[in-house]
A and B are shown apart, each in its own frame.
Chain A
């Protein structure tokens, strides 16, 4: 079957330095040959540390920036070949939610204006029915319709992120790119937004590209995961397979570095020594070899290919077969006590009852947060 989105050999180099004559003398290889597919209604997570190129990939997919090489196909059509009108139609199908809900909403527009703009741009709803649609959208993301007249500064971070989600949903997209949508939010708000994204996916059959550095969040939301390091994908697999048995040494190090909220959890830690090499001048051979505890001579000279096995679990590492088994990198079940599980269920039931019925109330004054 054709995937919703097929990305093939995507490359983007940014010019970092120019000589006095104006030609480029140094490039940041932000994305250097990235391929993946996203199925309709599913979630692909792009994970990696700052500077690995995950945000650049998300912008390339939307053609917000032009790639140097490679192709992006959406429902079989090559985005690079689209003319202005066709591109506009594509923008209806693919939307993005940004990390910072404080910066991504225009402070001079009311919520109603923010949500009406996409409806008007794409002429989706006749003017007379737009108000109704705005109220519907607000209810969909768990906000009260009466908030439509307010300005972004009157809302908390979590509520603003809900508005950003409502804006993305306004045009009924098939794909939403979520670029670190919860990392600016407090933990208790984070879970509300994650639950909302999951509910919306089920209800509206949305596909997500979920860009994140937080693997615990990714484990919760993703169907498939691609781990990126310095502009390339080093491992890609179904989420379950990746978290059960990560293969690439970098994926293992990332997973083992995440603190688990369980004192004295039994697990092996792989602490990477050294600094992340610069994307300006990535090391030759495998780009991870400078920090890899298993590096051999071959890794320093030969760039490993991303090779998939029969189950679709692909790894770019020369030593995949020789690495030790990934025991206890991801700690086994957290095992809340039965009493604690029951207490948590009480929180769940409140959530069920309140969902969709105006979950939040606006706090009267902005800026109470630290």
Chain B
């Protein structure tokens, strides 16, 4: 990993303006960086801000209602501060995204070939014939059988797994340097999920692209990520290399998450539960946002927001009581 990170996010903050004048703090001072060839997992539950973070990177948040501040540095550009033209040149080209719903993110009135070649022609130019050849090649790369026939089919003819592979082929059309995958396997059955995850690993090895994988599934994270950032209520609460996060979690929320998932490799009569609810982001609590649900909460926790502090060279936790092992010894 030489030459610094490929993408660096600093102090990213997204505030949504509601119609009624109220504001929701969807993402709050998020710092992230991903090196070339690395896979970062962005983990959290619904509403924690993980998808909003990815949409902010892609510049896809609605300008009227979302206020985005901070910096997203990608290869010399600040993505929050470039003209729309530049962003359009980057998107689909060097930045690509795979969405969760393969059923709704393909256009039903164009063949999959049209949709893939559109990207290639827009960014690479060249002849239609060349673009079509490239599209067939891409479909082959994502293991779609008889790609030269499939390319002329409409999305409704394909199964969910196939559509998701078409989405991946489309994202890879211009060999992106950064691929953002937002819950790429959530809508799929487990056997298809395994195929898609294998495919993503394969592609990473072949192209050296960096991947930001957004998911709520810790199993998927353990299988494909190098580093993990756990988000809760708009903030990153813990960041660590994957082994470290699963072996030695240092934020109570991460601990609770790990204990609350039923796992094939563990026997328990009762799962851990994180009681209570996510705080209302229209009016986030003053102190630690997890305090109301945390079994280790103390008076200090609710007074001031805890910083994301480094515990070791690459392990950071937003818990002032970390390291946690001293709480139970």
Measured CB to CB, the residues of A under 8 A from B are: 49-50, 156, 186-188, 190-192, 194-195, 198, 213-217, 219-221, 243, 253-265, 269, 271-272, 275-276, 330-334, 336-337, 339-340, 342-351, 354, 359-361, 363-365, 368-370
Question: Taking beta carbons and an 8 Å cutoff, which residues of B are in contact with A?
Answer: 24, 45-48, 51-52, 159, 161-162, 189-191, 193-195, 197-198, 216-223, 242-243, 246-249, 252, 255-278, 280-282, 295-296, 324-325, 327-329
For the complex, give the distance between the alpha carbons of A322 and B232 in Å: 49
Given A339-B329, A343-B327, A344-B255, decide whether A260 and B265 contact each other with a Cβ distance below 8 A: yes
Chain A residue at minimal CB-CB distance from B250:
A343
Closest to B50 in A: A370
- The answer to whether A370 and B47 touch (CB under 8 A), given A259-B223, A262-B265, A365-B280, is yes
Task: Please name 13 further chain A to chain B contacts, defined as beta carbons within 8 Å, in addition to the given A198-B270, A275-B161, A359-B275, sorted by A numbering.
Answer: A216-B264, A219-B262, A258-B264, A271-B191, A271-B195, A334-B266, A336-B259, A346-B328, A351-B272, A365-B280, A368-B280, A368-B281, A368-B282
Closest 7 pairs (CB-CB, A-B): A259-B219, A220-B262, A191-B260, A342-B328, A191-B271, A257-B194, A347-B272
Q: Name A265's contact: one of B222, B267, B278, B324 (CB within 8 Å).
A: B222
Chain B's nearest CB lies how many Å from the CB of A134? 23
In whole angstroms, how far apart are the Cα atoms of A351 and B274 in the complex? 8
Docked-complex contact B273 and A370, CB < 8 angstroms? no
Give bound CA distance, A213 to B218, whole Å.
Answer: 17
Tell whether, in the assembled complex, residue A261 and residue B221 are in contact, meaning their CB atoms are under 8 Å apart.
yes
Chain B residues near A359 (CB, 8 Å)? 275-276
With A190-B260, A194-B262 already in contact, the answer to whether A263 and B222 are too (CB < 8 A) is: yes
Instruction: Write the chain B residue with the least CB distance to A342.
Output: B328
Residues of A within 8 A of B260 (CB): 187-188, 190-191, 347
Task: Enumerate chain B residues within 8 angstroms of A276, measured Cβ to Cβ.
Answer: 159, 189, 191
Question: Closest CB-CB distance, A359 to chain B, in whole Å?
Answer: 6
Contact status B198-A271, CB under 8 Å: yes
- Pick from B48, B243, B261: contact of A263, CB under 8 Å: B243
The answer to whether B220 and A188 touch across the interface, beta carbons within 8 angstroms, is no
B43 nearest in chain A by CB position? A187
User: When A343-B255, A370-B51 are in contact, do A261 and B271 touch as well, CB less than 8 Å?
Assistant: no
Chain A: minimal CB distance from B142 (Å): 14
Give complex CA distance A271, B195 in Å. 7
C-alpha spacing A334/B191, complex, angstroms: 22
A188 and B257 within 8 A (CB)? yes
Q: Are B271 and A194 in contact (CB under 8 A)?
A: yes
When C-beta atoms are compared, the residue in chain B nearest to A362 turns out to be B277
Given contacts A188-B45, A257-B194, A259-B197, are A361 and B262 in contact (CB under 8 A)? Answer: no
Chain B residues in 8 Å Cβ range of A214:
262
Interface contact A195-B270, CB-CB below 8 Å? yes
B248 — which chain A residues lie within 8 A by C-beta?
Answer: 337, 340
CB-CB < 8 A to B243: which residues of A?
A: 263-264
